[in-house]
Homo-oligomer: A and B are copies of this chain.
Amino acid sequence: MSTRTGILFVISGPSGVGKGTVRNAVMPLVDDLQMSISATTRAPRPGEVDGLDYFFVTPARFQQMIAGGELLEWAQVYGNLYGTPYEYVTSMLSQGRDVLLEIDIQGALQVKEKMPQGVFIFISPPSVEELSRRLCGRGNDSEESIQIRLAACQQEMDHIKYYDYVVVNDRVEDAVDKVRSIIMAERCKRKNLNLG
């Protein structure tokens, strides 16, 4: 049995960059990796499952989690609240399990402050034009919210400097392979091994 502390991997990036898709594709490729699940007050999108994609909670319950210090990070995004249950992550890490957390940039920066030992991976779009295409193609946003998102995107790109790795998501298979490689490599880092 390994007695090392688990590694926290944080996948983040601009809205619409496809980080959820990359996360979902990486999970079955890596052994002994625990996915962190966010709590949110937003409504489930078609196909999303409570307790799998998110913990869907009421605003009242979310406020209770904030007040009780139950969240590692939380943010209001486009009118909805998102947060990561603290206890879930830290208990996994202390058991020596690696945790994969997929969150937006605001959330990642909060996690970076509290857990700087984490491995921070920025998923980048190939270009701003491509990001626009993805957002416009999503089909569930009004024209106004797309413009707001695009303006926020440039600001978010400036946050790359806080990340350890940058993965350009031009071909999703390549992005998935790169994220998997980062996880494999971090596990081989001498400082992350308990050498007998």
* A residues at B contact (CB < 8 Å): 121-122, 160-161, 163-167, 177-178, 180-182, 184-186, 188-190, 193, 195
Give the CA-CA distance A39 to B25 in the complex, in Å. 44
Which 3 residue pairs are nearest across A and B when measured between Cβ atoms? Answer: A181-B184, A185-B185, A181-B181
11 A–B contacts, CB within 8 A, in A order? A160-B190, A161-B190, A163-B190, A165-B185, A165-B189, A166-B193, A177-B184, A180-B181, A181-B184, A181-B185, A184-B185
State how many copies of this chain the complex holds: 2
Closest to A127 in B: B196
Give the CA-CA distance A166 to B186 in the complex, in Å. 10
Closest to A177 in B: B184
Give the CA-CA distance A165 to B186 in the complex, in Å. 8
A165 touches B190 (CB 8 A): yes
Closest chain B CB from A184 CB (angstroms): 4
B195 touches A185 (CB 8 A): no
Q: Which residues of B contact A177 (CB under 8 A)?
A: 184
Q: Which residues of B contact A195 (CB under 8 A)?
A: 160, 166
Give the CA-CA distance A124 to B18 in the complex, in Å. 37
